[in-house]
Every structure is written in C-alpha cells, then in structure tokens.
Amino acid sequence: METLAISTLLEAIYDRTGLDFREYASASLTRRIRMRMEAEQVGGVAALQERALRDPDCLERLLESFSITTTAMFRDPGFFREFRARVAPLLRTYPFRRIWQVGCSTGEEVFSMAILLQEEGLQERTRIYATDFNKAVLEKAKAGIFPLAKMKAYTENYLKAGGRGAFSDYYTARYGAARFDPALVRNVLFARHNLATDASFNDFHAILCRNVMIYFNRELQDRVHRLLHESLIRLGVLGLGDKESLALTPHESCYEPLNSHQKLFRRMR
Amino acid sequence: MRFDLVVIGASRGGLAACRTLLSGVPRDFPAPVVLVQHRLEDEDSPLAALLQQDCALPVVEPRDKEALLPGKVFLAPPGYHLLVDGPCFALSVDEPVHYSRPSIDVLFESAAASHGEAVLALLLTGDSVDGTAGLATVKQHGGFTVVQDPATAEAPAMPESGVAAGVADQVLKLDEMARTFRSWGSGGT
Ligand SMILES: C[S@@+](CC[C@H](N)C(=O)[O-])C[C@H]1O[C@@H](n2cnc3c(N)ncnc32)[C@H](O)[C@@H]1O
C-alpha cells in the first residue's frame, strides 16, 4: 500500500480534526487502514480518504479504529506485585502524592491501581490523574463496569499481583456485569489528554504509561519520553509496558531501573 | 535464492516442529528469523528457553522497536502481535486474529508490506487457519512461501489450509526445510 497515500490521509485527518496520527508506528496503522478499506468496501486509501471527509460517520469509525483500547485488570501481574513491593513504600514517604495513568483506556488499569493503593493504605492522600485522548473510553472508565465473564481471569491476576483481600468484595455482580465500588475512584480525576499534542500539566510521584507508546514511531516516542520526564518529580517512578524499554531513548541515562525484571524506573536526573 | 527475512508460523504441534527446523539454522545464517508460535498469555512462559535447546542462535522475545538484525531468532512474545516495521519490530495489542495474539497473519502481512520479495515465509503444523491470508500477501508482494507437508504435520489443518488456498510455492517436510537452512550458512553447499 502506498506510503504517500497514507500520509496524505493522516494529514487530512489532522487538518479536519486536530487529531495527530502522523507519527504513529506505520505497520500497525497500515493494518488498521487496510481493515477499514475492506469494511467500507472502498478500493484504495485515496477512496477511503474521500469517503471519510464526506461522511462524518465513516470518519468516526476510522478514528475509532486508530485507538486500540485493549486492556485488562492487573495486566502483567508481576508489574503490580513489584509496584506494591517497591513503589508503595516510596510513595508512603510523601505526605501527598499524585499518580498519572497515561492512556488509561476503559479504566481497568485505574481500578487495579486504586485497589492496590487502598490495600496499601495509600488511597487517602493520593490523587490519580487518569487520561486518554479517546473520549468514549473515558466515559466507560468513569462508570467502572466491566464484563462479569472476565472476573475469573482478573481474580487470578489479582492474586498473582499480591492482592490481600477477596477480589469479589470490590464489585457487585448484576446482569452479566461487574460494577466496581465507586468509592475506589473517589480520588481519581478522569480527563482528556493527547500525548501527541498536549503539554505537561502537573508533576507526579509516579507515572504509568503502558502499551501506549508501542503505537508511536521513534520520533513521537522520544517526544513523549521528554514529556513524561518533565512531568515526574526527581526520584519519581516511571512504569512502562512489559515489552517497552528506555534503551535508545534520549532519556535512558536519566533513569535507573528499580528492579531487573519489571518495567519500573526511577528518575535520577 | 536469497532472502533478507525469514518468517515462520506454527500452532499446535509447533514446539517439536520448530525445534527440528531451528536445529538446521547455522550460526552464520544471513537473515533474521522471526517466529510466531501460537501461545497463551503467560508472563512466565518457558517457550523461548525450550526453543533455545536445539538452536545455535539466541532465541529472544524482541522489545518494541528492537532492530531487525541477522544472528538471532525472534519469538513473538505472549499477548502481543509482532509486526515488522521497516528496519525494526513493532508490537501491538490489537484484538486477536483467528483467536490468536500473536497471530501469524499479522506477522506475515507486515513482513510482506515492508520487505516485499525478500521475504521467505514458512507455515507449519496447527489446527488454525491463521497464516493462509498472510502467505497470500507474501506472494502478492513477490516473496516466497513454503508450507509443511500436511501428511507430516502433527496437526495438518493449518498447512492444508495454505495448500488448499493455492498460496504455497513449495510443500516440504521439516527436515528438507532444515537442510535448506543449513546450506545457507558458510558451512553449507
Ligand atoms: C492498548 S491501550 C493500553 C491501556 C492500559 N494502559 C493498559 O496497559 O492496559 C492504549 C491506550 O492509549 C490511548 N492512546 C493512544 N494514543 C494516544 C495519545 N496520543 N494520547 C493519549 N492516549 C492515547 C488509546 O486510546 C488507548 O486507550
């Protein structure tokens, strides 16, 4: 598929909506565009662009396909286990703490963190800022209602992550859905923030940005790393996805790994 | 024939098949070898270590944006699709394809899009239909496709699907594939 046609499409989207996908990783984006072409039954990228600019619903579907919102509660349980063991004690040393969960998607990761903080006695004086550029997922995140069918897997994750209570105490089951206790997120602020275009808005004691930057190209990754670095206090902690790394980013030397296995790094400079 | 990139897809029965195949890859193999073996999402999976046992090259799970270089076998990590994106890898958590993440189609299609006729794709044993569409894309872009002889596969459905779709340039047994690999090293013929 023609690279040129794709960059023209991305320019047009930026122009029309202000949403900037021009520096997203191309292999994934190409795949999504090809899938949209098939679903919309158009013969090429240019035809897809033409339809999207003419038909707002088509544009909406295309934009939605660019936002991959896959997530789970306590995804990579080892990460949360280490967060509990190594980061919670650090957080305890501050009288008040702020955590930023970047690209929080439909909220599963936020509720996981909220449960962990509550069990560690850290909930009271911790504010979580949970952001995403996708308005629809933020609405779902606020509601905290997840499919009941997933609770078995999430309970296993929770236990592997070092959970101390009974996972089922955190939700009520009704009509095939698990509704999580709204009190868990009373200190959470859900807000829109676009990593590609928005600036730093606070400084944080810990930032989680997991499986978001894998969708960005190198240049955008580097820029986002600068943004995250700016937004962390000295000795603050950065958490990345399981297969992400700081190696080869301009900020590698600013951090030290908190442990060798999980993706937790401490800002030293 | 000369290829810059070898991509392999396997599902049920793949562990034994891949071990046989990788035992043929010489230390100075000139192209990166990238493998999708269908697997469950499990943090502590021993798959890489098991595949390492018969392989002269290091078997690693690439990190996002890791460079695509010869001298290693790259195994798709559990819970992620593995894509080739020009000179490096990209990972994604897009929805599963044919119930699988990692998916063979996703790897093959991305390899075809970025490396075109320099791609050699091999589809091995399995019960899935994953990989057939990927082989078709590899062929469309001028790459070369090989399917394991279904009669010799522990689970024949996946290679059969490739053969039935007419997207196999060649149908081979595992030891024939391994022999071909061996011949590409400097020790080869
Ligand atoms: C795969 S999900 C990861 C969710 C969660 N962090 C986890 O690891 O389970 C990626 C999220 O990043 C969001 N995202 C993608 N591009 C973004 C951007 N430029 N700014 C903010 N969020 C973005 C998507 O909307 C999606 O919700």
The residue whose CA has the least distance to atom 14 of ligand 1 is A103
Q: For residue B101, is pLDDT > 70? A: yes
When pLDDT is averaged across residues A197-218 and rounded to a whole number, the result is 97
Q: Is A178 in the pocket of ligand 1 (CB under 6 A)?
A: no
Rounded Cα distance between B20 and B41, Å, is 24
- The answer as to whether B189 is a domain residue is no
Rounded Cα distance between A263 and A254, Å, is 15
- The answer as to whether B188 is a domain residue is no
Identity of the amino acid at A267:
R
Residues B105-114: tens digit of each pLDDT = 999 999 999 9
Confidence (pLDDT) at B2: 76
When pLDDT is averaged across residues A51-77 and rounded to a whole number, the result is 96
Confidence (pLDDT) at B41: 86
Q: Tell which atom from ligand 1 comes closest to the C-alpha of B93.
A: 1
Residues A162-191: tens digit of each pLDDT = 999 999 999 999 999 999 999 999 999 999
Q: For residue B70, is pLDDT > 50? A: yes
Q: Do B61 and A1 touch (CB under 8 A)?
A: no
Rounded Cα distance between B12 and B58, Å, is 23
Residues A7-56: tens digit of each pLDDT = 999 999 999 999 999 999 999 999 999 999 999 999 999 999 999 999 99
Q: Is A157 in the pocket of ligand 1 (CB under 6 A)?
A: no
- What sign results for the dihedral spanned by CA atoms B75, B97, B85, A223? negative
Q: Rg (Cα) of chain A, in Å, rounded? A: 20
Please give the share of chain A, as a percent, with pLDDT higher than 70.
100
Q: Is A113 in the pocket of ligand 1 (CB under 6 A)?
A: no
Q: Say if residues B153 and B13 touch (Cβ distance below 8 Å).
A: yes
Q: Which residues form the domain of B26?
A: 5-183
Q: For residue B186, is pLDDT > 80? A: no
Residues B137-148: tens digit of each pLDDT = 999 999 999 999
Q: What angle do CA A5, A20, A26 make, to 5 degrees?
A: 50
CATH topology of domain A77-267: Rossmann fold (3.40.50)
Residues A138-169: tens digit of each pLDDT = 999 999 999 999 999 999 999 999 999 999 99
A73 min Cα distance to partner chain B (Å): 14
Rounded Cα distance between A260 and B59, Å, is 19
- The answer as to whether B145 is a domain residue is yes
- The answer as to whether B151 is a domain residue is yes
For the annotated catalytic residues of B, the residue numbers are: 11, 38, 130
Residue-wise DSSP of B17-58: HHHHHHTT--TT-SS-EEEEE-----TT--HHHHHHTT-SSP
Q: Do B110 and A221 touch (CB under 8 A)?
A: no
Reported as type and span, the H/E element at residue B89 is strand B88-92
Peptide bond before B87: cis, by omega within 30 degrees of 0?
Answer: no
Rounded Cα distance between B33 and B82, Å, is 13
Q: Do B43 and A77 touch (CB under 8 A)?
A: yes
When pLDDT is averaged across residues A220-246 and rounded to a whole number, the result is 96
Residues in Cβ contact with B139 at an 8 Å cutoff, skipping those fewer than 6 apart: B145, B167, B169
ipTM for the complex shown: 0.93
Residues in Cβ contact with A54 at an 8 Å cutoff, skipping those fewer than 6 apart: none
Q: Is A210 in the pocket of ligand 1 (CB under 6 A)?
A: yes
A249 min Cα distance to partner chain B (Å): 11
Give me the phi and psi of B37, to 5 degrees please. -110, 120
Q: Do A28 and B90 touch (CB under 8 A)?
A: yes
Please state the domain extents for chain A: 2-66, 77-267
Q: Count other C-beta atoms under 10 Å from residue B80's C-beta.
A: 24
The residue whose CA has the least distance to atom 27 of ligand 1 is A105
Helix/strand/coil for B73: strand
Q: Which of B112, B136, B140 is CA-nearest to residue B7?
A: B112
Q: Which of A22, A207, A75, A60 is CA-nearest to residue A136?
A: A60
Q: For residue B188, is pLDDT > 70? A: no
Local confidence band at A248 (pLDDT 50, 70, 90 cut-offs) = confident
Say how many Å lie between the CA of residue A99 and the centre of ligand 1: 16
**C-alpha distance across the termini of chain B, in Å:** 13
A162 min Cα distance to partner chain B (Å): 15
- What sign results for the dihedral spanned by CA atoms A226, A227, A232, A234? positive
Q: Count other C-beta atoms under 10 Å from residue A124's C-beta.
A: 9
Residues A89-116: tens digit of each pLDDT = 999 999 999 999 999 999 999 999 999 9
When pLDDT is averaged across residues B3-22 and rounded to a whole number, the result is 96
Confidence (pLDDT) at B1: 61
Looking up residue B80, the CATH number of its domain turns out to be 3.40.50.180
When pLDDT is averaged across residues A119-147 and rounded to a whole number, the result is 97
- The answer as to whether B14 is a domain residue is yes
Burial of A202 (0-12, 13-18, 19+ CB in 10 A): exposed
- The answer as to whether B23 is a domain residue is yes
The Cα-based distances of A241 to A26, A142, A209, A244, B17 in angstroms read 20, 23, 7, 5, 31
- The answer as to whether B75 is a domain residue is yes
Parallel/antiparallel/unpaired status of strands A126-132 and A97-102: parallel
Q: Which of A146, A206, A207 is CA-nearest to residue A181?
A: A146
Split into its structural domains, chain B has a count of 1
Give me the phi and psi of A195, to 5 degrees please. -65, -25
pTM for the model stands at 0.95
Please give the share of chain B, as a percent, with pLDDT higher than 70.
98
Task: Give the full edge-to-edge strand order of the sheet including A145-147.
Answer: A145-147, A177-180, A171-174
Q: Outline where B83-131 has alpha helix (H).
A: 104-115
Average pLDDT, chain B: 95
- The answer as to whether B30 is a domain residue is yes
Rounded Cα distance between B113 and B96, Å, is 20
HEC-encoded secondary structure of chain A: CCHHHHHHHHHHHHHHHCCCCCCECHHHHHHHHHHHHHHCCCCCHHHHHHHHHHCHHHHHHHHHHHCCCCCCCCCCHHHHHHHHHHHHHHHHCCCCEEEEEECCCCCHHHHHHHHHHHHCCCCCCEEEEEEECCHHHHHHHHHCEEEHHHHHHHHHHHHHCCCCCCHHHHEEEECCEEEECHHHHCCEEEEECCCCCCCCCCCEEEEEECCCHHHECHHHHHHHHHHHHHCEEEEEEEEECCCCCCCCCCCHHHEEECCCCCCEEEECC
B37 touches chain A (CB under 8 A): no
Average pLDDT, chain A: 96
Confidence (pLDDT) at B187: 63
A78 touches chain B (CB under 8 A): yes
